[in-house]
Structure 1
Amino acid sequence: MTMVVIGAGLAGNAAAEELREQGYDGDVVLLGAEQHLPYDRPPLSKDVLLGHEDVEATGLRDADWYTERAIDVRTGTAASAVDLERRVVVTPGGEIAFDKLLLATGSEPRRLPVTGAPAAYLRTRDDSAALRAALLEKPRLTVVGGGWIGLEVAAAARAAGCDVTLIEPQAQPLLGVLGERLGSAFADLHRQHGVDLRLGTSFDGASPVPADLVLVAVGAAPRLDLAVAAGLDVDGGVLVDATLRTSHPDVYAAGDIAAHDHPTLGRLRVEHWDNAIEQGRAAARSMLGADAPYDRVPYFFTDQYDLGVEYVGRVPREHLDSVVVRGDLAARQAVVLWHDAGRVLGGMHLNEWDSIDHLRALVGRTVDVARLEDTGVGIAGLAESVS
């Protein structure tokens, strides 16, 4: 029996590891389009750019580790097609037959036309190494996009001594993710560190900005071509059920491309590190016959300047203004809760490192709004009261 995993990113690597952890002793083939063995992604926009970690250190395992576990990792091997009727994956080197297949093809940066300065994107290990080298030359950097990647690169560039201008068409950075109040807090953070924020400015209508380098960070698009061509059900992502199975009974999807039918949160597609790893593991268990739904609540983290943040949950845009801030945003010491009439949808902390487990316990639970707002009750006590 042969398990084939297309995509050697975090989700695909986690799936291959989990197959062996669960005792599967058949063939495992892991296909990666990049020349590198699987590597970690969060450091690419954080510690690598800051110079705290060498890009070589982002590798998850060395070659011997895969050899010892008989995981056939094929780097530099991009799948060109999936033939579901014949149950083969087509690659430039030939066809690979499969019994079960996992698609974990990830995302690619959305691109914009840029004139007047070189454009950079940040997705791969090579991208990060090149950008780090460029920042050491202290260029005038323009960041296009005020999402997580754009803000993290802006922070790293300021730490390297670069002049940074950030262009964002919305009124605040992260407006569609965190809402007006928290977006404003991130804007203040970057202004305090010398970033020239140009908010409410469309990318194509911005006044000319002197720049030596432009970092385009306007989001990522899931790589769906293989799934579409194979005839799988796709709607903004590869549609999968609660167990990460696609419309074909022997094909699964995980990570950025999976539009997952979450048991409590509904249909969602998540592009974060934690989701990729945990869905990869869950998909492997499903491939081996487990019937357990994947019900983990989305989680992510960011580090910018002296601010460390962890977030858990999923907050629809219509509820972003239903927010309770417990602490001091200006001092960057706070716990934040979003809710729908007391039902906690998401939680985030700013430099409150002991609070994440309590926030996780609160998500999905209903608490009286007055109690949510009562700072006399600590976040631990609030979580204990609904456990």
Structure 2
Amino acid sequence: MEDLAPVFEVSEVRREGDRVVYVGRPRASPSTVESELAPLFYERGFDLQLAARSGNRAPRHVLVATRRSIGIDGIPWKNIALAFATVLTTLYAGTVWYHIDVTADPLNLLRAWPFSLAILTILGVHEFGHYVTSRIHRVDASLPYFIPIPPPFGTAGAIIRMRGRIPSRKALLDIGASGPLAGIVATVVVTVIGLSLDPIAVPRSVATSDAARIEFAEPLLLRGLAWLTGQPLSYADPTKQLHPLVFAGWLGMLVTFLNLLPVGQLDGGHVLRALAGPRQETVAAAIPAVLFGFAGVLLLFGDVSVEVGIWFVWGVFTTALAFFGPATPMRETPLDRKRQAIGLLTFLVGALCFMPVPFRIIV
């Protein structure tokens, strides 16, 4: 009670199920009461919320302390269903890159399993990096939700839902950076394996077709891996194509860069919020304008058209993310040098994955 007294005067304490309720009067603003007392309760395994309740005579304020639950309750059917759907869509997307015909025999879909496994491994390692560090810092988080979409990608990535409050900037940095850093390791491994495998034979009817084709950009990380392994990133012979695992690695790099945009509750938003504190919101507010401006410059001065649509779409998306704001840690203690270095390394990884125009449509 003495710990609460400076910001909240308690007149009654009672239990309501698994919660402890403190009835009383705030001695500071609601945000100050929560920011001062939330860490105290967090250390004892409780989440805290200040609320107003109507009484017989006048509204009363209560502090509600709810025991924090970490872990999985029951079978996560939604996660399982989305993961299964993403297996199917990435298998189908893989048939495009392997040039597998599934019309005659639908079971040919299974021949694209290396591509599907590579994509799911990259995304899974990324999201479980977040999940494991969330558990280490005792922050409640869901298992990954995979997002299935049609080819050529087969997936729009994966997310985990943070249900608990972040205790400190240190925890926020660890949770935000662990996903991209773990995911980029998986991406590098998949890409190197793909570069070492023999190219895929392209049917001559496809190689000589006049139909539109997609040409993918080569981020610095992909070029560096090709140089280190001594492998080409293209072939003069149109009947040869890079192994689909290289494309899986390319997709992992694109997802890494987009996740590291420093806005809202994207990984980059978490990392910058941990590094810069509340000043992160100033940077986040500028990100949509930068993306719209970048798309406009490419449209006016670059040899592109619909390809810049990705930056317009992400301009809209980041506008919404900036509006809802970043995750706010309970403690604003600055980071030590080690974690500052980790944060900067994380953004360096994102820079190595950047592509001004990720793909071009060649007619």
Fold shared per TM-score above 0.5: no
TM-score (norm 1): 0.26
Larger strand percent = 1
Greater helix share, 1 or 2?
2
